[in-house]
Amino acid sequence: PKTVTGPMIRAWIETSAEVFAANRGHLSDLDSPIGDADHGNNMNRGFNAVLEKLPEGDDIGALLKSVAMTLIAKVGGAAGPLYGTLFLEGSKPLMGKTELSQADLAQFFEDAIAGVKKRGRSDVGMKTMLDALVPASEAFQAETAQGGEILAALRAAANAAESGMKATIPMQAQRGRASYLGERSIGHQDPGATSSYLIVQALSDAVEK
């Protein structure tokens, strides 16, 4: 496709909810050695609520803002407010748009990431969701700059998110509950980087279908 449509964004949200239902145990297992074993439950509960509240229509900004507000309201802990901020900041320039250009999508990634960095006082290398999201955004832009179309850029983003997720294993956590463990956080994959990879992969999959 040359653009990302409202129905594709709706499919992304629905796919994300399915993926979090399927990966609930996996994500909570990842959160068990370096956290409080609730990340899968948080994301599954959050996206179930997102589906219940999702508005009708193809206004992409409105869809993404609804995701944000529900996650902020329904998911406690670190991930709810951070994913809420991601979708809220990303939605702002997209209000009223029913179709996104490749440039709009690049901007969405940038604004979403800037929101997480600000809210979390975090950046790449701290063993968080940003270690999947930032490489994904960079890969999207690099593929776009090389003339790749939306789907190629999204596939590149999903691959980069997966590599970024795996790269959190040797990192020492510097934010969130895992940071309380100091060096003992080394050797475990970050649950938030994992959920972020799953969300980026879900977007690529939803646009591909």
| Number of chain residues interacting with ligand ADP (CB under 6 A) | 23
Residue 162 touching ligand ADP (CB under 6 A): no
Cβ proximity to ligand ADP, 38 vs 59, nearer residue: 38
Which one of 11, 113, 129, 165 is in contact with ligand ADP (CB under 6 A)? 129
Q: Which of residues 11-40 bind ligand ADP (CB under 6 A)?
A: 31, 35-36, 38-39
Residue 120 touching ligand ADP (CB under 6 A): yes
* Start-to-end CA span in the chain (Å): 10
Residue 84 touching ligand ADP (CB under 6 A): no
Residue 45 near residue 28, CB atoms below 8 Å: no
Residue 89 touching ligand ADP (CB under 6 A): no
Dig out the tokens for 97 from the structure: 């748009």
Least distance in Å: CB of 165 to ligand ADP?
10
Residue 130 touching ligand ADP (CB under 6 A): yes
Least distance in Å: CB of 184 to Mg ion?
16
Q: Which of 158, 162, 194 is nearest to 35 (CA)?
A: 194
Residue 133 touching ligand ADP (CB under 6 A): no
**How far is residue 83's CA from residue 22's CA, in Å, rounded to a whole number?**
19
Give the number of other Cβ atoms within 10 Å of residue 114's Cβ. Answer: 14
Cβ proximity to ligand ADP, 159 vs 195, nearer residue: 195
Residue 143 touching ligand ADP (CB under 6 A): no
Residue 79 touching ligand ADP (CB under 6 A): yes
**How far is residue 156's CA from residue 143's CA, in Å, rounded to a whole number?**
7
| 3-state helix, strand and coil shares in percent for the chain, rounded to the nearest 5 | 75, 0, 25
Site residues, ligand ADP (CB under 6 A): 31, 35-36, 38-39, 42, 77-79, 82, 116, 120, 122, 128-130, 175-177, 190-193
